């Protein structure tokens, strides 16, 4: 609960006429009181001072000094020269602060214990906060109750339990919310926890005058009551509504009875609706008064003569979307998927195959599979012989070459191939070379390559 001192730099001609009253805040600003500065010290905002308490002393923080305190006293109706006003004793010492911190550490446990005692006595009340004096001789118990509560027995138990002089103080839900604090729906700190000191009653009529929907969830604050900010602009709305005609809820026209549904205070328009129609007709205040005067003369106008409402809000341009329905068919998707699967299959089969050596330089190359076949009985360096049952490819008839049988200890020779009518010598094969067996995944006949 912070207050800006906008009169701080105000020059004072007479120091004797300066305000000697200081505003003191307790418990982080949840409670404020006024004390007379009877000492010779000059206190600034934020100073910790020792104050006159009940049968002892208390410690508080200076929140306001100077001329602005007089305005606060006038606002709250407190007499500056009252003789019973409490005084400031001294500037708080280290001993005073240690005692004050020790009593503050007891408040949380005391609150839990006080709630348990009130529940055992079956009292219809809620303990909100417990505040101990700095010297530990007095304790103030803040509670919330809808009806009157007989707590005479409760005070005796509290005095015996906490060894203090008990003071019971009833507060409302709004005061409790101010003590707890929080962030409102507007994104700022709660008004009751910052600057609002007097809480006025708020009813649903304030929302109706401002054309707000009666939604209890949206209109309620953290205290469970209607928001205090509903009263802030209520006077302005009431002044604006004085320019609207009264008793104009029904207007008689040729098409029927027009019923008033809402009033636009900012545009000075009154919206009507005709029976058996959902269309809304905005009328000016002058037109409504004219129709009302005609109805008093038993004259029914033909039309309402609604005005055209032009919105000043910039229209947002929506992005254009392309309708692609029917552009992509399942058949095209299946076709693309099939191509992808075939491509993957070819890559896998190509990885299993090894590159083959180049064949002879002749114009017509003979298939190695058609001219060379591996004898499963030959192993290692045994002689290999081509089977006579090999059939040459088409276009190679008359050019088939048979592989002669190799003699023991001799290197097998490649058959001669003819090119342009001249025989050509092929490179002989080594006996250690082994022909690769054909695999089932081979789509085409490939020459056997040595491993």
Q: Are residues 87 and 107 both part of a single domain?
A: no
Nearest to 162 by CA among 127, 117, 128, 122: 117
Phi-psi region of 55 (alpha: psi -120 to 50; beta: other; left: phi over 0): left
Written in H, E and C, the secondary structure of 7-76 is: CCCCCCCCHHHCCCEEEEEECCCCEEEEEECCCCCCCCCCCEEEEECCCCEEEEEEEECCCHHHHHHHHH
Domain end: 41, 61, 92, which one? 92
Residue 78: inside a domain:
yes
Phi then psi for residue 342, to 5 deg, are -65, -40
Q: What is the CA radius of gyration of the chain?
A: 51
Q: Are residues 264 and 207 both part of a single domain?
A: no
Domain end: 92, 122, 141, which one? 92
Cβ neighbours for 282, distance < 8 A, ≥ 6 positions apart: 264, 269, 270, 271, 306, 307, 309
Residue 88: inside a domain:
yes
Answer yes or no: are the C-beta atoms of 54 and 138 closer than 8 Å.
yes
Q: Are residues 164 and 125 both part of a single domain?
A: yes
Residue count (the chain): 451
Q: Are residues 150 and 84 both part of a single domain?
A: no
Q: Are residues 279 and 234 both part of a single domain?
A: no
Q: Are residues 149 and 127 both part of a single domain?
A: yes
Dump the DSSP string for 92-131. --HHHHHHHHHHHTTHHHHHHHHHHHHHHTT-S-EEEEEE
Residue 152: inside a domain:
yes
What global pTM score does this model have? 0.56
Q: Are residues 203 and 267 both part of a single domain?
A: no
CA–CA gap between residue 439 and residue 390 (Å, rounded): 19
Residue 396: inside a domain:
no
Residue 437: inside a domain:
no
Q: Are residues 191 and 227 both part of a single domain?
A: yes
Q: Which domain holds residue 224?
A: 179-239
Q: Are residues 235 and 273 both part of a single domain?
A: no
CA–CA gap between residue 117 and residue 154 (Å, rounded): 8
Residue 271: inside a domain:
yes
Residue 227: inside a domain:
yes
Q: Are residues 129 and 187 both part of a single domain?
A: no
CATH of the domain at 148: 3.30.300.20
Total domains in the fold of the chain: 4
pLDDT by residue for the chain (451 residues), tens digit each?
A: 456 666 666 666 556 677 889 999 888 777 889 999 988 888 888 899 999 988 889 999 998 888 888 888 888 888 888 888 999 999 999 999 999 999 999 999 999 999 999 999 999 999 999 999 999 999 999 999 988 888 889 999 999 999 999 999 999 888 888 888 889 989 999 988 888 877 888 988 999 888 888 888 889 998 889 999 999 999 999 998 888 888 888 888 888 889 998 888 888 899 999 988 888 889 999 999 999 999 989 888 888 888 887 767 666 666 676 666 666 566 766 788 888 888 888 888 877 765 555 554 444 444 444 444 444 444 444 444 444 444 445 444 444 444 555 555 555 555 555 555 555 555 555 555 445 555 555 554 444 444 4
Q: Which helix (H) or strand (E) holds 178?
A: helix 173-180
Residue 381: Cβ within 10 Å count: 11
Residue 124: inside a domain:
yes
Distance separating the N- and C-terminal Cα atoms of the chain = 91
């Amino acid at each position: 609960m912070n207050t800006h001192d906008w009169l701080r730099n105000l020059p004072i001609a007479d120091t004797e006429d300066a305000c000697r009253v200081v505003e003191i805040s307790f418990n982080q600003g949840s409670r404020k009181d006024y004390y007379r500065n009877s000492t010779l010290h000059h206190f600034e905002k934020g100073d910790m001072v020792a104050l006159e308490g009940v049968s002892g002393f208390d410690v508080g923080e200076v929140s306001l000094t100077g001329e602005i305190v007089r305005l606060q006293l006038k606002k709250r109706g407190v007499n500056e020269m009252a003789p019973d006003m409490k005084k400031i004793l001294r500037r708080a010492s280290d001993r005073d602060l240690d005692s004050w911190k020790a009593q503050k550490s007891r408040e949380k446990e005391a609150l839990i214990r006080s709630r348990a005692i009130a529940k055992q006595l079956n009292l219809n009340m809620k303990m909100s906060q417990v505040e101990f004096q700095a010297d530990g001789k007095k304790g103030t118990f803040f509670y919330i109750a809808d009806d009157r509560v007989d707590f005479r027995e409760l005070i005796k138990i509290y005095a015996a339990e906490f060894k203090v002089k008990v003071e019971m103080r009833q507060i409302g839900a709004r005061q409790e919310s101010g003590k707890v604090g929080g962030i409102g729906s507007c994104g700022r700190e709660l008004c009751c926890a910052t600057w609002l000191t007097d809480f006025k009653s708020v009813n649903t009529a304030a929302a109706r005058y401002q054309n707000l929907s009666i939604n209890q969830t949206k209109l309620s604050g953290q205290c469970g009551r209607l928001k205090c900010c509903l009263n802030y602009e209520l006077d302005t709305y009431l002044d604006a509504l004085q320019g609207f005609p009264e008793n104009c809820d029904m207007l008689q026209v040729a098409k029927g009875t027009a019923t008033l549904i809402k009033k636009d205070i900012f545009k000075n328009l009154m919206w009507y609706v005709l029976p058996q129609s959902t269309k809304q007709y905005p009328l000016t205040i002058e037109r409504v008064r004219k129709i009302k005067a005609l109805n008093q003369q038993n004259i029914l106008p033909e039309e309402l003569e609604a005005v055209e409402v032009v919105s000043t809000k910039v229209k947002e341009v929506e992005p254009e979307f392309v309708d692609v329905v029917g552009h992509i068919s399942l058949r095209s998707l299946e076709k693309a998927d099939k191509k992808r699967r075939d491509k993957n299959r070819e890559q896998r089969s190509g990885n299993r195959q090894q590159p083959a050596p180049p064949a002879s330089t002749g114009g017509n190359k003979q298939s190695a599979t058609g001219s060379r076949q591996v004898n499963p009985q030959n192993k290692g360096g045994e002689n290999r012989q081509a089977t006579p049952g090999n059939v040459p490819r088409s276009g190679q008839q008359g050019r088939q070459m048979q592989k002669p049988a190799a003699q023991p200890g001799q290197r097998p020779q490649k058959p001669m191939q003819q090119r342009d009518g001249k025989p050509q010598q092929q490179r002989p094969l080594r006996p250690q070379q082994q022909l690769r067996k054909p695999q089932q995944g081979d789509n085409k006949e490939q020459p056997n390559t040595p491993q």
